[in-house]
Chains A and B, each alone.
Chain A
Amino acid sequence: MTALDDTRQLAYIAGQASDARVNVELETEGMTLNIGPQHPATHGTLRVIVKLDGERVVAAEPVMGYMHRGYEKLSEVRTYPQVTTLVNRIDWLGSFANEVPFILAAERLMEVEAPPRAQWIRTALFELSRIANVVLFLGDMGVQLGAVTPVFFAFRDREFVLNQIEAVTGGRFHPNFDRIGGLKDDLPKGWVDETKGVLGRIRTFCDEMEDLVTGNEIFQARTRGIGVIPADVGLSYGLSGANIRASGVDWDLRRDGGVGLVHDQLDWKVWTHPDGDSFARYWVRLQEVREACDMVEQALDGIPSGPVMAKVPRIIKVPAGEAYVETENPLGVMGYYVVSKGDLVPYRVKIRSASFNNISITPWLLEGTYVPDVISILASLYFILGDIDR
């Protein structure tokens, strides 16, 4: 006997249906949900207060400051070489890249140029820190959406990259290796060949990600068409890096910036994606890791011989002036506005970090989305809390 044959059953179903209709017509009560401060999607301690109407987000307000360390104030009482120790800790997954724009700004003020060998090694380390950073994103993006395997692959293969960085600089996360006028040391023996072997592993990792994640139906369903950022909105919010290139903006400071690295002498390509959704941001980053592997390989082949340090005074006094240098860091555009009054210490350092601008779009972007998409969007925007709070 089916339910429709039984009159009592039929009446029950009709009652349920009318109840549901009544429920739809009634106003649902709003609810406020705290995401974080401790949440795996937040890479640190970001708290997002979302106001919900059912499953739909009515308003989202990120709350920062749990990790604010006041680097701009501290920089005003540190000598120039000491500041690199601070800025190392801004984006802790790609630390070496944090030092580069600050050192370049100081070098511009002092009118020092690093010798070619130092510039090439800098570029190689810069791109290696990009690999170490973005590889973790690729694994992490999966785990946010319920696929746990990729993150193990990511941690496994990132370790090889960190080993190479450690072999040169002595530090896995905080290299503090860049100096005004060059680098602290030359490369250790046999490092170039070993690094090329590691690049092979990373390329394999990218292929694995392509197989495991990119084509996965669930992954596609949860990222395609989710969190679409039009190019003009992204620009007005100051989005940068893969986030803006995934919206179809063909802009990369490594190609267009012309600062003291040697990217212009390497053969590589800027990847963009027209969609501007979560999937596009993931996809662009995956391609960028591959490009970074190519760049490191070319940089290693091209390292000229010579010193790694230009002649600089032992105690560094930077002539009065102002300089702003920004580079294309793993998370996006990172810049330092350095004001010097001719002292041992900077007069003012404004740190323009990528994640701060990247995450400032979230109130606009999250409005009208659904709760599960909040995680997908936050994961794909890819921020590091140290890079927001500074």
Chain B
Amino acid sequence: MTNILRADHVTKAYQVRGAPEMIAVRDLSLDVAEGEFVCLIGASGCGKSTLLNMFAGFIQPTQGTVSLRGEPITRIEPRCGMVFQSYALFPWKTVRGNVEFGLELKGIPSSERRRTAARFIEMVQLKGFEDRYPYELSGGMQQRVCLARILAVDPMVLLMDEPFAALDAMTRQVLQEELLQIQERSRKTIVFITHNIDEALILADRIVILSARPGRVKAIVPNTLPRPRHVSIQLSPDYAALKAKIWEHVEEEVQRHVEADRLMAAG
């Protein structure tokens, strides 16, 4: 499998006024293969979002490069489509309007736009809701619209920043199941940030554990649970073993992060 996304010894430092330089990630390297589902997991502030934002081109690395199919990402990259935790739906547009937005920008004629949008709206189980406004939808439905919106423009890579974190556990489970199906059918490359080890085990092919700040790749755990996968995989015996392994890595970093926070508060 070819690598589609790469972070090469990436460092990101922020200058905060009146305070020492803040290093979000240091010397972080990661390869993502085409068609794979990678979960990034780690304590707060370990640079997960920073890395994702660099892949999307919202920020540039201070050192090192991030690249898409070998080309360095130096500005905003629409081929790395992002799904945000707080949805970012356009409140003045209907479900259809939101899903068509990216297509409209590409100059696609309105009848074709409508057809394409209808397809993706149906894919996320929102048929019948085309004319609703975001304020009329639940959180889970809003996130589905975001998914449809970004899939409609057919990005090379899907970047998802804790997209289900704001949802209740049941809705989250439903959306995880739907995302699995979508990924299985489309074979999209997905980089998915989560705090939730269960979520990572359900969704990912590989689980990348990041160290506490400054973020580095601490460990990569391949997910050996069989595919096609369903949420019920949580009941399999191998599941517990994998989860324990990942928790071991994550726990260490969480301790480190808590310790660092304590020192910062004291000093």
Verify that A and B bind, or say they do not. Answer: no
